[in-house]
Amino acid sequence: MEMQGEARIPAPKAVVWDALNDPDALKESIAGCEELVRTGDNSFAAKVRAKVGPVSARFSGNVELTDIDAPNGYRIQGEGAGGAAGFAKGGAKVTLEEDGPGATLLKYDVNASVGGKLAQIGGRLIDGAARKMADDFFTKFSEIAAARAGG
């Protein structure tokens, strides 16, 4: 699965960058995220409860940030296992651009794959769930970044 998109965040680039690197902001932004713990300078362990169509599972996995170009962007890679539900792995290139005074354009390019029961439920259902998760993430993340910027 591949997905590209962008979100306009009503906060300065430096604030958005800091939030993108803050486990608490990320945990709050990811629907179903039960735990996001820093395990190294650029790595995290995560537990996320997710439902895609008829398949519901608790995924445990690891996330690593690479190709870091502060405060312009990074690559995020991760993989998680959800027991009988299967697995998901993938990554995203995230870039930040100033978008006028006090706003940032966050662009993302995602490449992901799934296996197990998840792979059996069909690409359209998975794509739809992934787009909804991305939309929900950016809505919440925008609120957090705007609040941190004093907006």
pLDDT digits (tens, 9 = 90+) for 95-104: 999 999 899 9
Whole-number Å distance between alpha carbons of 35 and 45? 8
Of how many residues is the chain composed?
151
**CB count in 10 Å sphere of residue 46:** 21
**pTM greater than the 0.85 cutoff:** yes
Would you tell me how many other CB atoms lie within 10 Å of the CB of residue 23?
Answer: 16
* Percent share of the chain, pLDDT over 70: 99
First to last CA, the chain: 35
